[in-house]
Structure 1
Amino acid sequence: MPVQRLVGHLCELGFSPYEARCYAGLLGAGALTGYAVAKRTGVPQPKVYETLRRLVARGAAEQFPGPPTRFTAVDPKLVLDRLASAHAASIAGARAAAADVDGTT
């Protein structure tokens, strides 16, 4: 199933399982309330608002004030491009640190 594949890949990229499920649930759904995201994704309602705030903080979702407050997914291309850049920078840093430890600078 495509949603489960997406959730799996997002978890591999550092999303928590709840973050991955909420992001996947927001994709293509328009602006949703936290309640609607919880119903759509199965993420427990007490956890969904905290999870959505984390997605907003990491740039994967946008929040629109209410009432009620609504959330939308940021374009996956933008989210994945940012993740690719962040991972590339981390890999470059790890390579440099490994070279320093190895003494092959």
Structure 2
Amino acid sequence: MPVQRLVGHLRELGFSPYEARCYAGLLGAGAQTGYAVAKLTGVPQPKVYETLRRLVARGAAERLPGSPTRFTAVDPKVLLDRLASDHAASIAGARAAAAEVDGSLA
């Protein structure tokens, strides 16, 4: 199932299980309230709002103005391009640090 594959890949990229499920739910359903996301994804309602705030903080979702508060997924191309860039920078840093450690052992 495509949603399960997306959730699995997001988990590999460092998303928590709830974050991955909420992002996939928002992506498939469009703008939703926290309550609707909880119903759609099976994420417990007490956890869904905290999870949505984390998705907003990491740039994976946006909080829409108005009442009730609704959330929407950031375009997957934008999100995945940013994640690729972040991971490339982390890998480059790790390579440089490994070279320093490896050089100091010689």
- On whether the aligned pair clears a TM of 0.5, the verdict is yes
Q: Distance in 1 between matches of 2:21 and 2:29?
A: 13
Q: Distance in 1 between matches of 2:29 and 2:3?
A: 13
Q: Give the corresponding residue for 1:17.
A: 17
Give the SS at the match of 1:63: strand
Amino acid at match of 1:21: R
Q: Give the corresponding residue for 1:40.
A: 40
Show CA shifts across 1:3-62 (max 9, x none): 000000000000000000000000032210000000000000000000000000000000
State percent identity of aligned pairs.
89
Q: Give the corresponding residue for 2:78.
A: 78
Higher helix fraction: Structure 1 or Structure 2?
A: 2
Q: What is the root-mean-square deviation of aligned Cα atoms in Å?
A: 1.0
TM-score, normalised with respect to structure 2: 0.95
Aligned length, in residue pairs: 104
Which runs of 5 or more residues in structure 1 are unaligned?
none
Give the SS at the match of 1:27: helix
Q: Distance in 2 between matches of 1:17 and 1:62?
A: 19
Q: Give the corresponding residue for 1:53.
A: 53
Q: Give the corresponding residue for 1:101.
A: 101
Q: CA deviation at 1:66?
A: 2.8
Amino acid at match of 1:89: A
TM-score, normalised with respect to structure 1: 0.96
Which runs of 5 or more residues in structure 2 are unaligned?
none
